[in-house]
Structures are given as structure tokens and as C-alpha cells.
Amino acid sequence: MNLLIIRLIIFAVLFFAGLKLYRMYREWKLEREEWLEKDATHNEGGHMVRCTYCNVHLPESDALREHGEWFCSSAHRDKYLEERKEQG
């Protein structure tokens, strides 16, 4: 009878230790996923480009591209293309 109680206690201790390790692993995994997601959103902006007209830097995703040139707005694109057309 004493041997059965000792085995039951050992089994319970091992069970709770395994449960604790599983919870620690799950918490570590969630923290890692949050960190990776945060890192991915931080780099989401892309490359910075410079407006050809006013030399302002902005993310490539927000810029307009026309004839291989970058612009911060359609107004600057139109002004630049108009000036270029008048010069040449």
C-alpha cells in the first residue's frame, strides 16, 4: 500500500511539472510571435525615396512614380513634368 501511494505522489509531481513546463513553453511561444509580429510591422514601411521636386523623403509605399522619378504628391509630379516639358 505504501508503494502505491509513493508512485501516486511521484506521478502527481511529474504531471504538475510537465504542466508547468507546457505553460512556460506556450507563454514563450506567444511572446516570440508578438515580437516577430512587432518586428515585421516595424519594417513594413519599405524603402525611403526622395521627391524629385522638393527633395522630401517619404516611404516608397506613399510615393508616386512617374518616368522613373519619385514624387510626394500629384501636384509636385505635375509641376515637375510641366517644367521639364517647357525646358526640353
Burial class (CB in 10 A: 0-12, 13-18, 19+), 73: middle
Q: What is the model's pTM? A: 0.48
Query: What confidence tens digit (pLDDT) does each residue in 11-67 have?
Result: 999 999 999 999 999 999 999 988 887 766 665 657 899 999 999 999 888 899 998
Predicted confidence at residue 6, as pLDDT, reads: 94
User: Dihedral angle at the C-alpha atoms of 76, 77, 78, 82, nearest 10 degrees?
Assistant: 100
